[in-house]
Amino acid sequence: MKHKFTARSRMFDIISDDASLLSSVSRFGISLGLGDKTVQEACTVNDIDCNTFLSVINFLTEGNVELQEEFNEVNLETVIGFLKNAHSYFISYKLPLIREKLNDAVPVDEPTDPYKIVLLNFFDEYVDEVKKHMEYEDKTVFPYVLNLLKGELSTDYKILDFEDHHTDVDSKIAELKNILIKYHPSNSVNYKLNDVLFDLLGCERDLAMHNMVEDHFFVPAVEVIERKLSKLTN
């Protein structure tokens, strides 16, 4: 199957073609200042498996979930590093930044204003859900997969257990967005709040893409390994 980006594609062109891919590129540990490096050159310099990088980027670009024939070329350790970097980005950087902006954007006459308290509590509850979701992956799912790569097939856990546990972490941020758009009490334009909404919209899309990689790329690739090990042990 012919894909949009290849090892000869320039990294500059990938990011210029779709700015949303910048966050995905950075989660592979590739920083800006790329010059005219090709994908192959950038991956070599940063010690990244090029086939895996291209598989993820093309998957996100094309939205193609029929990648079964390519999973044999995917380096799952690289994918896990990509997903863990995404977790760190959301938990340690993006969500705290949005909360800071939200706190600053919602003016109140009194520090104990109930609207602001409820709004921030709603956001904090959402962040707690995201943390629990991602900590489960970091502490349970990823170690399980790394053991699979060592040839160790568990008898009491399968990647399908992760799918059953996998909750929708981006829906609550959509609720917060809707609350601000529909019900925020205001008699004038609030540019700071508009900025928060842009951040929420971007984070909502980013989380949806992250979940798509987990559900339709990572899980099927792990299932391939599980089936191979199962055949060897039977």
Residues 182-207 pLDDT 10s:
878 777 788 999 999 999 999 988 98
Instruction: Give the helix/strand (H/E) hosting 191.
Output: helix 191-213
Domain ranges within the chain, ordered by starting residue? 11-64, 73-233
**pLDDT on residue 64:** 64
Average pLDDT over residues 171-186: 81
Spatial distance between the Cα atoms of 177 and 71, rounded to a whole number of angstroms: 36
Residue 164 pLDDT > 90, yes or no?
Answer: no
Cβ atoms 94, 55 nearer than 8 A: no
Cβ atoms 120, 101 nearer than 8 A: no
Confidence of residue 173 (pLDDT cuts 50, 70, 90): confident
Residues 78-98: b if buried by 16+ CB within 10 A, e if exposed: bbbbbbebbbebbbeebbeeb
Residue 115 pLDDT > 60, yes or no?
Answer: yes
**pLDDT on residue 230:** 86
The torsion region of residue 10 among left (phi > 0), alpha (psi -120 to 50) and beta comes to beta
Longest alpha-carbon distance in the chain: 69
Confidence of residue 85 (pLDDT cuts 50, 70, 90): very high
Higher pLDDT among residues 167 and 213, named by residue? 213
Residue 66 pLDDT > 70, yes or no?
Answer: no
> Tokens 């709040």 map to which residue?
193
Whole-number Cα distances in Å, 225 to 58, 165, 167: 22, 20, 24
Task: Summarize pLDDT for 137-149 with one digit per residue, the tens.
Answer: 999 999 999 999 9
Q: Which residues pair with 10 in a beta bridge?
A: 38
Task: Summarize pLDDT for 122-132 with one digit per residue, the tens.
Answer: 999 999 999 99
**pLDDT on residue 74:** 87
Confidence of residue 45 (pLDDT cuts 50, 70, 90): very high
Angle at 63 between CA 219 and CA 145, to 5 degrees: 15
**pLDDT on residue 166:** 65
Spatial distance between the Cα atoms of 165 and 9, rounded to a whole number of angstroms: 37
Task: Please name the amino acid found at residue 28.
Answer: F
> Tokens 């008699």 map to which residue?
187
Per the prediction, the chain carries an average pLDDT of 87
Average pLDDT over residues 72-81: 90
Average pLDDT over residues 157-176: 77
- Residue ranges of alpha helices (H) inside 27-170 are 39-45, 50-62, 76-88, 95-105, 114-136, 142-149, 159-165
CB within 8 Å of 7: residues ≥ 6 apart = 38, 39, 40, 43, 50, 54
End-to-end CA distance of the chain: 33
Spatial distance between the Cα atoms of 176 and 192, rounded to a whole number of angstroms: 16
pTM (predicted TM-score) = 0.90
Most confident of 2-11, 17-26, 43-52, 174-183: 43-52
